[in-house]
Structure 1
Amino acid sequence: MSKRTLVIGASENPARYSNKAILALRRNEHEVVALAKRNGQVDDVAIETTFPQNERVHTVTLYVGPQHQPGYYSDIIRMKPQRVIFNPGTENPEFAEKLKNNGIEAEEACTLVLLSIGAY
């Protein structure tokens, strides 16, 4: 089953984990919405620079550090995904608490590992 995923901190740079995650998500047939400071393209996924409005997503996966996350808090909570994945280096107890208080699962995990072991 496809779990529509919003990747925040997407990058065209193949060395970046967000880029690897987009490719792995697509290989696993998940729909991807990508967000970053700069427009771009990864495989068949366009990277947008404005937060998607009225999108239904199952999962938000973060590739931006905690210092860059506050600007996304209200948009993500309003989006009501089932879960938000805090990839290594993005852990943020304050935001995780806000998510849980709004009925959204906060998971400290690696998207690439979850996909590779079939636990996504």
Structure 2
Amino acid sequence: MKASNLLYYKNWAVIGNVSKEGKYAFKILNSLKAAGFNVVGVNPRDIAGSIYDSLEKVLPKVHVLDLCINPAVGIDIVKAANKLGIDKILIQPGAESQEILDFCNNNGIDAVEGCALVELSKRHQK
């Protein structure tokens, strides 16, 4: 699967520092919202309680997980996503690891390395 194909799915969750302006997760979350996607932000480190702190709390069903977090934390999130039946993951630059790719490959998860911002900009150029 190519990263551009993920844009056919409407329900997304962006994992990372989605609350802080200037962070890529924040930019991705807001760009997806502006493009009409149903998207929620998840930050496992959110102590303010202003956003989701885990995938298990997200409703409705997530079709695509956008991984924008340190791979050491990301592997646990990918494992949680697998338990929830999320089978499409866009792995942003810097969030990738061989462990994550191997887990996805061994568990039937379509893992694509790419950037949501790049794919959205290509879409708007058409």
Fold in common (TM above 0.5): yes
Structure 2 counterparts to residues 9-88 of structure 1, below 5 A: 9-36=16-43, 37-38=45-46, 47-53=51-57, 55-88=60-93
Deviation per CA, 1:4-62: give whole Å up to 9, x if none: 11111132221011111011100111111211111569xxxx62113324741111011
Pairwise CA RMSD of aligned residues?
Answer: 2.3
Counterpart Cα distance in 2 of 1:2 and 1:26: 13
Q: Give the helix-richer structure, 1 or 2.
A: 2
- Cα distance in 1 between the residues matched to 2:106 and 2:60: 21
Question: Residues of 2 paired with 1:93 and 1:59: CA distance?
Answer: 20
Residues of 1 paired with 2:48 and 2:88: CA distance? 25
Q: TM-score normalized by structure 2?
A: 0.78
Q: Which runs of 5+ in 2 are unaligned?
A: 1-7
8 Å Cα contact 2:66-2:92 kept in structure 1: yes
Question: Is the 2:55–2:81 contact (alpha carbons within 8 Å) kept by the matching residues of 1?
Answer: no
TM score, norm. by length of structure 1 = 0.82
Secondary structure, counterpart of 2:104 in structure 1 = helix
- Unaligned regions of 5+ residues in structure 1, if any? none
Length, aligned pairs only: 115
Moved over 6 A (4+): none
Give 1 or 2: higher strand fraction: 1
Percent sequence identity is 25
Which structure carries more relative contact order (alpha carbon 8 Å, separation 6+)? 2
